[in-house]
């Protein structure tokens, strides 16, 4: 496949067969590999150290939001943080 791969972060409980089908279609269309990473809301609220590193790296790179935006992610993280969960990552400069 041409170009760099695409990391796709999905938060929630997608229907796996629909997600897989959509990813396959987009990979063929774009000519790029799509790597889905699916987290539950609990995982976003209390990420493991490995998940924290992944999210920190993701936030330092250019992003294209399919649903939501940086502000929505920050609002969600703040809301979860007030419930006692740690901040998942800083958004970087």
Q: Are 1 and 32 in contact (CB under 8 A)?
A: yes
Nearest one of 39, 60, 41, 61 to 50, comparing CA atoms: 39
Q: What is the average pLDDT score of the chain?
A: 82
Residue 83 is predicted with a pLDDT of: 55
Question: Does the predicted TM-score (pTM) go above 0.85?
Answer: no
Q: Tens digits of per-residue pLDDT, 45-86?
A: 888 999 999 888 888 888 888 888 889 888 887 887 665 444
The structure tokens listed for 13 are 């409980």
Domain definitions of the chain by residue range: 1-39, 48-93
Any bridge partners for residue 8, and if so which? 36
Nearest one of 4, 7, 6, 13 to 54, comparing CA atoms: 7
């Amino acid at each position: 496949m041409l170009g760099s791969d695409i990391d796709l972060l999905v938060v929630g409980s997608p229907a796996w067969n629909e997600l897989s089908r959509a990813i396959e279609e987009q990979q063929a269309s774009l000519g790029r590999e799509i790597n889905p990473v699916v987290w539950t809301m609990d995982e976003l609220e209390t990420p493991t150290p490995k998940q924290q590193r992944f999210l920190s790296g993701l936030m330092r790179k250019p992003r294209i939001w399919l649903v939501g935006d940086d502000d929505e992610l920050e609002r969600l993280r703040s809301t979860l943080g007030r419930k006692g969960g740690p901040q998942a990552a800083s958004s970087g400069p």
